[in-house]
Structure 1
Amino acid sequence: MANTYTQLYIHIVFSVRGRESLIRKEWKNDLYAYIGGIILSHKSKPLAINGMPDHIHILIGYNPSTPLPALVEEIKTSSNRWIKEHHNVPMFSWQKGYGAFSNSRSSIDKVIRYIAHQEEHHRKKTFREEYLQMLRDFEVEYKNEYLFDFQEILEWS
């Protein structure tokens, strides 16, 4: 793509199937490094990767040469296989779907800090609360039945 220039920042969020707490502290940094390698192999830049035992946040400098759904699918499929093979978690899998939110250049430092401080953040707010807040903040229309396995949301609505 000659003479094509982009500056795209995407914050990606997805969870472990059933929101089970299967991502272990002992190997989460290796997982994040592995995911960073996948992102680099698709000509995007991993800017921040962190999460909790039941979900993950990834901020990338996005190169649109790979469609975003294909990139996220590759991250989920490859990391799922890697976790099973390297950390003996045979029941591990990511939930279907993901959230992807665009960010301006001026907000990148704030998003990086937000991702870096997930443990602090989740002392006050559940993943469900966090994710719904992101959907509201970015004015994303959604249907409860298509959200992650948030059974309490269906009862709450």
Structure 2
Amino acid sequence: MPFIKIYIHFVWSTKNRVPYLKSKELRQKVWHHIKENAKKKGIFIDFVNGYTDHCHCLVSLGTDQTIQKIMQLIKGESAFWINKEQLTDEKFRWQDEYFAVSVSESMIDRVRNYIKNQEKHHSKKTFKDEYQEFIDKYGFERFKDE
């Protein structure tokens, strides 16, 4: 059996960055569901959190998992569940796009803390500003004007 340790930090937003996830209680319910559902599908989410209009996940990839498949399973199922449970006033949707970057083992704790402190972080900075920082930091020039 192979032993791999590859961590990916995923970030994705709600469709058109609509702040569907308005209350802390709702967000916690959604993050808990995402983690539990992923576990059932064999996806190991190390940490999940976010804010009113986006989600961060730190995921450890399994041997047969791809970034695309993980995002499809997490985003698709969670949007379906949110709508089925009628947790938002209008139809909930995630944006099609997402951000994914590998995380070295030496940075895992730093990324966990960053994800953990989303509420505090976004009291000072919008998701749009954060997104632009990611683009600039990781050199994703092709996404600059989106």
Deviations 1:105-155 (A, max 9, x none): 11011101101111111122211111111122222232345x3xxxxxxxx
Q: Is the 8 A contact 1:38 1:74 kept in 2?
A: no
Q: Is the 8 A contact 1:16 1:94 kept in 2?
A: yes
Mapped partners of 2:35, 2:29: distance in 1: 10
* Equivalenced residues, count: 144
Mapped partners of 1:88, 1:13: distance in 2: 21
Q: Is the 8 A contact 2:132 2:144 kept in 1?
A: no
Match of 1:28 in 2: 27
Deviations 1:58-104 (A, max 9, x none): 11112141221011011111100111111343421001110001100
2:140 corresponds to 1:136: no
Q: Is the 8 A contact 2:49 2:57 kept in 1?
A: yes
Match of 1:102 in 2: 102
Report how far residue 44 of structure 1 moved. Answer: 3.0
Could you tell me the TM-score, scaled by structure 2's length? 0.89
> Aligned runs of 1:7-156 on 2, under 5 Å?
7-23=5-21, 24-89=23-88, 90-144=90-144, 147=146
Q: Secondary structure at the match of 1:142?
A: helix
Query: Cα RMSD between the aligned structures?
Result: 1.6
Q: Secondary structure at the match of 1:125?
A: coil
Report how far residue 9 of structure 1 moved. Answer: 0.6
Mapped partners of 1:19, 1:134: distance in 2: 16
Report how far residue 57 of structure 1 moved. Answer: 0.5
Could you tell me which runs of 5 or more consecutive residues in structure 2 were left unpaired when the two chains were aligned: none
Q: Is the 8 A contact 1:35 1:79 kept in 2?
A: yes
Higher alpha-carbon Rg: 1
